[in-house]
């Protein structure tokens, strides 16, 4: 609590120098953080006042007493007191409820939360401690809750700060790492967020003597009348991620939009897949993009090969549970995840970490639950992607990702590393494309930026550019 409150005070002083601060302290340890922050602000020469509920947590009572001992003033917290005293403040600190909040919000505190949001609407900056009061730390949903400008969170990023409407409540998020006992720290850090430096180090480096046959042969199995463009997007994503040789196999007439891609149409795709000999197979497969109603049957055929395989879109069927292997990467968006789990999409987006974990248990291999951000669930644990751009919410974007992942798998990257670094490459390319094209991004715009994204990740890892 001492470290948390001190970190919050330092951040407050950095973000709002010299501003008189009104701190709201709830009865639990989150309120205790507010008392500690107030004491440190005072010692830094910042004017601070606390409005508090009766302290119930022993450490909160102790820190309330320490605040009094240094001359700090505490008044009873009521909506009226908040409205009155917030007029003289430059910043309002929300230390009402943290990870101990159990919904639903009781009426008395609901009124206080309403008063905080009203003060913010009048122009006062609001800083939440650990997470905005009224949010359930584990969930992406937001009922009545504080809208913050800044959240100083302690020890680990809670799911509420990462996903959905809850994350929008937090404003800018600053993570204050605390020196907690290791077992507490693990519980707080519910998912890892890998850094570009780590992900860049996973990318393959092509040998000077490489030729197209050694740089990863990727097959894309997809396309159906009406969705024949999907495999093209995947194939182009694969080529732009360094695959040496990309072949599209389809039962449909796939448009030859990029002459670099080989296109093979099969009157009986199932018979073709059944007849491929072991040495005629590629290094990796991406299957399912626009593939249509027979996708699960085709997936079973390809899964028998035991090759690194990305399963996307139409191949994401519950009947495939148990048919996968540990070299599979499954890439559902929330709608497909809901179909696989027998839940609604709203249930998936409310708790994406649990959904990703459940999908991985059901399907095996590695699961990428796509979104902004995406979750990668692997046998080794969960990670949450960074970056991306809301403009990426457009059709075909996931097809490009499948191609990226297949290209990395085809170049020998492990499924877990391919998923984590591929998702970040895609997101980084989206950020770059947004700079070039603005808000309305297409999947092709993003594919065009994959080379730059690759360079950015390698640079973050301190590696020399590819080619030698």
Ligand X SMILES: NC(=O)C1=CN([C@@H]2O[C@H](COP(=O)(O)OP(=O)(O)OC[C@H]3O[C@@H](n4cnc5c(N)ncnc54)[C@H](OP(=O)(O)O)[C@@H]3O)[C@@H](O)[C@H]2O)[C@@H](O)CC1
Ligand Y SMILES: Nc1ncnc2c1ncn2[C@@H]1O[C@H](COP(=O)(O)OP(=O)(O)O)[C@@H](O)[C@H]1O
Q: Interacting stretch for ligand Y, rule CB under 6 A, among 96-104, 111-119, 218-226, 389-397?
A: 389-397
Residue 339 CB, shortest distance to ligand Y, in Å, is 13
With binding defined as CB under 6 A, does residue 340 bind ligand Y? no
Q: Which of 73, 393, 436, 465 is in the footprint of ligand Y by CB under 6 A?
A: 393
Residue 176 CB, shortest distance to ligand X, in Å, is 9
Residue 150 CB, shortest distance to ligand Y, in Å, is 21
Q: Which does 30 bind (CB under 5 to 8 A by kind): ligand Y, ligand X, none?
A: ligand X
Rounded Cα distance between 18 and 455, Å, is: 42
Q: Which does 130 bind (CB under 5 to 8 A by kind): ligand X, ligand Y, none?
A: ligand X
247 neighbors 230 (Cβ within 8 angstroms): no
Give the Å distances, CA to CA, from 363 to 156, 271, 325, 337, 366: 28, 26, 8, 11, 8
With binding defined as CB under 6 A, does residue 361 bind ligand Y? no
Residue 374 marked ligand-binding: yes
With binding defined as CB under 6 A, does residue 205 bind ligand Y? no
Q: Which of 237, 251, 398, 415 is in the footprint of ligand Y by CB under 6 A?
A: 398
Rounded Cα distance between 147 and 127, Å, is: 9
CB atoms within 10 A of CB 79: 16
Q: Which does 33 bind (CB under 5 to 8 A by kind): ligand Y, ligand X, none?
A: ligand X
Q: Which of 399, 416, 445, 449 is in the footprint of ligand Y by CB under 6 A?
A: 399
Single out the residue of 445, 347, 336, 345 nearest to residue 392, CA to CA.
445
Give the Å distances, CA to CA, from 207 to 212, 413, 452: 11, 15, 20
**Please, where are the H alpha helices in 70-131?**
79-85, 107-121
Q: Which does 267 bind (CB under 5 to 8 A by kind): ligand Y, ligand X, none?
A: none
CB atoms within 10 A of CB 111: 15
CB atoms within 10 A of CB 83: 14
Residue 416 CB, shortest distance to ligand Y, in Å, is 17
Residue 405 CB, shortest distance to ligand Y, in Å, is 10
Rounded Cα distance between 134 and 146, Å, is: 7
Closest to ligand Y by CB, 162 vs 401, is 401
Q: Is 286 left (phi over 0), alpha (psi -120 to 50) or beta?
A: beta
Rounded Cα distance between 116 and 110, Å, is: 10
Q: Which residues bind ligand X (CB under 6 A)?
A: 1, 4, 26-31, 33, 56-57, 97-106, 109, 129-130, 154-155, 178, 180, 184
Residue 380 marked ligand-binding: no
CA dihedral 158, 161, 165, 168 (to 10 degrees): 170
Residue 372 marked ligand-binding: yes
Closest to ligand Y by CB, 105 vs 337, is 337
Binding residues for AMP: 370-374, 398
Binding residues: 230, 290, 333, 370-374, 398-399
Catalog residues that contact ligand Y under the rule CB under 6 A.
313, 333, 370-372, 374, 388-390, 392-393, 395-399, 401, 426-427
């Amino acid at each position: 609590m001492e470290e948390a409150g001190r970190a919050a005070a330092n951040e407050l002083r950095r973000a709002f120098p010299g501003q008189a601060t009104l701190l709201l302290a709830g009865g639990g340890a989150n309120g205790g953080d507010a008392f500690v922050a107030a004491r440190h602000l005072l010692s830094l020469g910042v004017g601070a006042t606390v409005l508090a509920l009766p302290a119930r947590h022993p450490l909160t009572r102790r820190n309330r007493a320490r605040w009094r001992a240094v001359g700090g003033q505490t008044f009873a917290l009521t909506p009226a007191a908040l409205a009155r005293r917030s007029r003289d403040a430059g910043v309002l600190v929300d230390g009402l409820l943290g990870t101990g909040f159990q919904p639903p919000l009781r009426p008395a505190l609901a009124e206080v939360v309403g008063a905080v949001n009203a003060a913010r609407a009048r122009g006062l900056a609001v800083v939440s401690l650990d997470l905005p009061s009224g949010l359930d730390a584990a969930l992406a949903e937001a009922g009545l809750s504080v809208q913050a400008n800044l959240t100083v969170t302690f020890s680990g990023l809670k799911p509420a700060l990462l996903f959905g409407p809850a994350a929008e409540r937090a404003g800018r998020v600053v993570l204050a790492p605390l020196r907690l006992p290791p077992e507490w720290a693990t519980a707080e850090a519910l998912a890892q967020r890998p850094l570009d430096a780590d992900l860049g180090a996973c990318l393959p480096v092509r040998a000077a003597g490489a030729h197209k046959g050694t740089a990863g042969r990727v097959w894309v199995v997809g396309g159906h009348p009406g969705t024949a463009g999907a495999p093209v997007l995947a194939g182009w994503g694969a080529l732009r991620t360094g695959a040496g040789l990309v072949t599209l196999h389809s039962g449909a007439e796939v448009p030859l939009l990029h002459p670099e891609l080989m296109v093979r149409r099969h009157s009986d795709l199932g018979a073709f897949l059944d007849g491929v000999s072991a040495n005629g197979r590629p290094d990796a497969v991406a299957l399912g993009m626009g593939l249509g109603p027979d996708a699960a049957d085709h997936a079973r055929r390809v899964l028998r090969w035991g090759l690194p395989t990305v399963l996307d879109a139409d191949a994401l069927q519950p009947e495939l549970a148990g048919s996968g292997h540990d070299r599979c990467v499954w890439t559902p968006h929330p709608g497909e995840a809901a179909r696989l789990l027998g839940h609604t999409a709203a249930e998936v987006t409310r708790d994406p970490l649990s959904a990703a974990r459940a999908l991985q248990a059901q399907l095996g291999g590695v699961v990428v639950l796509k979104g902004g951000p995406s979750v990668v669930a692997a046998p080794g644990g969960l990670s949450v992607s960074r970056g991306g751009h809301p403009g990426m919410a457009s059709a075909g974007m996931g097809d490009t990702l499948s191609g990226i992942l297949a290209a990395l798998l085809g170049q020998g990257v492990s499924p877990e590393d391919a998923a984590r670094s591929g998702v970040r490459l895609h997101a980084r390319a989206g950020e770059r494309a947004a700079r070039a094209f603005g808000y309305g991004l297409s999947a092709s715009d993003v594919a065009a930026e994959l080379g730059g994204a690759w360079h950015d990740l390698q640079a973050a890892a301190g590696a020399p550019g590819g080619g030698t």
